[in-house]
């Protein structure tokens, strides 16, 4: 008899769970799991670091390339964006953003905060003045791409 009692109790719980589950699905509106930040007016913060790739070739030559990471960022047009760049590799990276009067320096162990608001679409290059590698090194220059759309 006791066994039957436990089973009835179980059935009650199962039925209750099904009912509550159904109610949940009937009353809850679908919530998108991803909301595009491009439609919000809230300020966007983008974090970037300075990094370094280095290797030694088979013939013993050392290769080094400094990087902004991420190397490409998307920025909505007319949106307030705070770009925070933290210096990890490399002592100093004096930089400018092509086509703007924005410039500064990223130093190792420090965060450089750059407020941005682009009103014109396009791809803007964030260029490090030190690691241009022009004429004396085959590794690519230290450039990030700011895509304003
Ligand atoms: Cu640099």
Domain co-membership, 54 together with 3 = no
Q: What is the pLDDT of residues 74-119, one digit of tens each?
A: 999 999 999 999 999 999 999 999 999 999 999 999 999 999 999 9
pLDDT at res. 17: 72
Ligand 1 centroid to residue 60 C-alpha, Å: 24
Tell me the CATH number at 125: 2.60.40.420
Q: With bands split at pLDDT 50, 70 and 90, how would you rate the model's confidence at 27?
A: low
Q: With bands split at pLDDT 50, 70 and 90, how would you rate the model's confidence at 8?
A: low
Q: What is the mean pLDDT of residues 139-147?
A: 93
Ligand 1 centroid to residue 12 C-alpha, Å: 67
Ligand 1 centroid to residue 71 C-alpha, Å: 13
Domain co-membership, 6 together with 26 = yes
Ligand 1 centroid to residue 107 C-alpha, Å: 10
Number of domains in the chain: 2
Q: What is the mean pLDDT of residues 115-135?
A: 90
Q: What is the pLDDT of residues 41-74, one digit of tens each?
A: 678 999 999 999 999 999 999 888 999 999 999 9
Mean predicted lDDT score pLDDT of the chain: 85
Ligand 1 centroid to residue 58 C-alpha, Å: 26
pTM: 0.70
pLDDT at res. 101: 96
Ligand 1 centroid to residue 2 C-alpha, Å: 77
Domain that holds residue 103: 37-148
pLDDT at res. 138: 72
C-beta separation of 103 from 96 below 8 A: yes
Domain co-membership, 20 together with 60 = no
Domain co-membership, 41 together with 72 = yes
Domain co-membership, 49 together with 1 = no
Domain co-membership, 42 together with 98 = yes
DSSP secondary structure string for all residues of 7-37 = HHHHHHHHHHHHHHHHHHHHHSPP--S---G
Domain co-membership, 26 together with 51 = no
Domain co-membership, 20 together with 77 = no
Q: What is the mean pLDDT of residues 19-40?
A: 60
Domain co-membership, 24 together with 42 = no
């Amino acid at each position: 008899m006791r066994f039957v009692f436990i089973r009835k109790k179980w059935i009650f719980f199962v039925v209750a769970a099904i009912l509550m589950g159904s109610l949940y699905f009937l009353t809850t509106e679908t919530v998108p799991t991803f909301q595009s930040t491009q439609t919000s007016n809230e300020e966007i913060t983008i974090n970037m670091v300075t990094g370094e790739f280095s290797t030694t070739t088979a013939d013993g030559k050392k290769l080094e390339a400094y990087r902004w990471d991420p190397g490409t960022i998307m920025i909505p047009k007319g949106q307030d964006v705070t770009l925070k760049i933290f210096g990890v590799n490399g002592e100093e990276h004096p930089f400018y953003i092509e086509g703007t009067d924005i410039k500064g320096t990223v130093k190792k162990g420090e965060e450089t905060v750059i407020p941005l608001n682009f009103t014109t679409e396009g791809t803007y290059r964030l260029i490090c003045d030190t690691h241009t590698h022009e004429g004396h090194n085959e590794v690519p220059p230290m450039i990030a791409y700011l895509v304003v759309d």
